Amino acid sequence: MRICPVCEKIWPNAELERCPNDGSPLYALGQSGAGPELGPGAVVGGKYEVLSEGPKRGGAGRTFLARQQRLDRIVELRMLPRDTIRGPSDEARFLREVTTWGKLRSEHLVRLYDSGVTPDGMPYMALEVVEGGVMGERLRREGPQPFARVVTLAAHALDALAAAHDASVIHRDVSPEALLLEVTPEGVERARLTGFGLAKQVGGDDDPTAITMTGMFLGNPAYMAPEWMMRGELTPAVDLFALGITLYELLAGQRPVKVTNTSEALAAYVKGTPTPLAAHRPDVPAAFARWLERLYAFDPTQRFARAADALRALQELQDAGLRTEAVSAVVAPPEQGGPPSRAMVVGVAGLVALVGVTLWFLRG
């Protein structure tokens, strides 16, 4: 079976590649994942004893709480579908990606301890256990988040992304589901970034449009930067765009433009105008709102180039006290609502045509 990450409909045809409803790429689900035999007491990879099933983290596969027997350490065990690896090249990519993740260092990154593939072909990852909730779940449960909390999330997520970008790694899947919020023993909130399953090392030889080890298509269209979606350009700025959309959503309870599928994203990037944050959160300082607009600017030339630059600008705002101003003065980044460039129109036209042909073929 395969599932659409946009409409969440499950399709029984395992050969189907795109959703007949909205044209989104599908990913594997069902019996190819970690099966029901992985219950308490099961041992994975000869070293991880399953204790209980954990929360769903997004993407394919299942998550378990497990004990690493040799070190007597509790880990989060992420089990991916068996059909994630179909040959030597897939296994090499899986090992390369988890090795890249394991080398990243930041106190705001969820650490990857270990990885491997079981004898029957199920890839797994052993991760640090973070005692905190997923921000996506918190948003759905509580609604828009306090401004001070979102500033903390912004700073910590940027610190994590800066570590990744310094290592020439692009996350490619930043969203509220990739942010965890924990409370330290001192009672201080701390954000942790996870979900590096789609990460790409810049300069690698793998196709940036290919499906990766998670069995999931590359990115949720609601958080995909225009230049990536339209022209396949992949730079650290795509992570900043996704983080900007994420932070706006955490503050406002909705995204700056309505995007639920690829077609809506394309339309929004060509002729849409982001709703100013002031329309939803007049309590947010105007200086912060302007800073946030530089994260999710549709035009990548008006966006921060790297996470370190965005973090430095945020710290300067914090040093200045983030004084409350009349946020109604905030305007959208220049030219975002203006006429699209010829290159953008050509890119969108080609992609729309491709989506249309694919949908016609699937429904035919």
Among 60-64, 144-148, 255-259, 337-341, the minimum mean pLDDT is found in 337-341
- What pLDDT score was predicted for residue 219? 59
- What pLDDT score was predicted for residue 332? 35
Residues carrying CATH 3.30.200.20, the chain: 40-127
- What pLDDT score was predicted for residue 37? 67
> What does the pLDDT look like over 190-242, one tens digit per residue?
999 987 655 555 554 444 333 333 333 455 788 888 888 777 788 899 999 99
Enumerate residues 6+ apart whose C-beta is below 8 A from 167: 100, 103, 104, 201
User: What does residue 289 show for φ and ψ, rounded to 5 degrees?
Assistant: -60, -40
- What pLDDT score was predicted for residue 343? 40
Given a cut of 50, whether residue 160 has pLDDT beyond it is yes
* Structure token pair of residue 63: 């998550």
Computed over every residue of the chain, the mean pLDDT equals 76
> Fold for domain 40-127?
Phosphorylase Kinase; domain 1 (3.30.200)
Residues carrying CATH 1.10.510.10, the chain: 132-363
Amino acid at 130: V
- What pLDDT score was predicted for residue 29? 43
Q: Is 200 left (phi over 0), alpha (psi -120 to 50) or beta?
A: beta
| Band of pLDDT at residue 1, cut at 50, 70 and 90 | low
Catalytic residue among 72, 120, 159, 173: 173
Among 23-27, 75-79, 141-145, the minimum mean pLDDT is found in 23-27
Query: Does the domain at residues 132-363 carry the CATH identifier 3.90.600.10?
Result: no
- What pLDDT score was predicted for residue 356? 39
* Structure token pair of residue 280: 């939803």
Given a cut of 60, whether residue 328 has pLDDT beyond it is no
> What does the pLDDT look like over 172-191, one tens digit per residue?
889 998 899 998 889 899 99
- C-alpha separations of 145 from 62, 174, 263 in Å: 28, 18, 29
- What pLDDT score was predicted for residue 9? 62
The residues pairing with 53 across neighbouring beta strands, listed in sequence order, are 64
Given a cut of 60, whether residue 266 has pLDDT beyond it is yes
- C-alpha separations of 92 from 11, 116, 308 in Å: 29, 11, 31
What's the per-residue H, E or C state across the chain?
A: CEECCCCCCEECCCCCCECCCCCCECEECCCCCCCCCCCCCCEECCCEEEEEECCCCCCCCEEEEEEECCCCEEEEEEECCHHHCCCHHHHHHHHHHHHHHHHCCCCCECCEEEEEECCCCCEEEEECCCCEEEHHHHHHHHCCCCHHHHHHHHHHHHHHHHHHHHCCEECCCCCHHHEEEEECCCCCEEEEECCHHHCEECCCCCCCCCCCCCCCCCCCHHHCCHHHHHHCCCCCHHHHHHHHHHHHHHHHCCCCCCCCCHHHHHHHHHHCCCCCHHHCCCCCCHHHHHHHHCCCCCCHHHCCCCHHHHHHHHHHHHHCCCCCCCHHHCCCCCCCCCCCCHHHHHHHHHHHHHHHHHHHHHHC
The residues pairing with 123 across neighbouring beta strands, listed in sequence order, are 117
Angle between helices 237-252 and 135-142 (to 10 degrees): 20
Q: Is 173 in the active site?
A: yes
